[in-house]
Amino acid sequence: MIKLIKSSFYNEKDTKKKLAKFILKAKIFSMKKECANFEKKFAKKQSRRYAVFVSSGSTANLVLIQALLNLGKLKKGDRIGFSALTWSTNVMPLMQLGLIPIALDCNLKTLNVSPSEIEKKISKIKGLFLTNVLGMADEIEKIKEICQRNKIIFIEDNCESLGSRISGKLLGNFGLASTFSFFVGHHLSTIEGGMICTDDEKLYQMLLITRIHGWDRNLGLIAQKEIRTTHKVDDFYAKYTFYDLAFNARPTEVNGFLGNNQLQYWDEMVSIRAKHFKLFQSIVGQNDDFVPLDLSHMDLISNFAMPIICKNKKTVEKYKKRFINHGVEIRPIIAGNIEMQPFYKKYINKKTYCLNSNFIHQNGFYFANNPELNKKEINTIIGLLAK
Residues designated catalytic: 186
Nearest to 154 by CA among 133, 113, 181, 126: 126
3-state SS assignment for residue 14: helix
Give the count of alpha carbons within 13 A of 99, CB side only: 29
Angle, CA 313 vertex, CA 308 and CA 314 arms, to 5° = 105
Identity of the amino acid at 256? G
Please state, in angstroms and rounded to a whole number, the distance separating the CA atoms of residues 41 and 35.
10
Q: Which residues contact 363 (CB under 8 A, 6 or more apart)?
A: 291, 309, 310, 311, 312, 313, 315, 316
Angle at 163 between CA 33 and CA 91, to 5 degrees: 85
- The 10 Å Cβ neighbour count of residue 234 is 8
Tell me the DSSP string of 252-277.
BHHHHHHHHHHGGGHHHHHHHHHHHH
Q: What is the DSSP letter of 340?
A: G
Q: Which residues pair with 81 in a beta bridge?
A: 102, 128
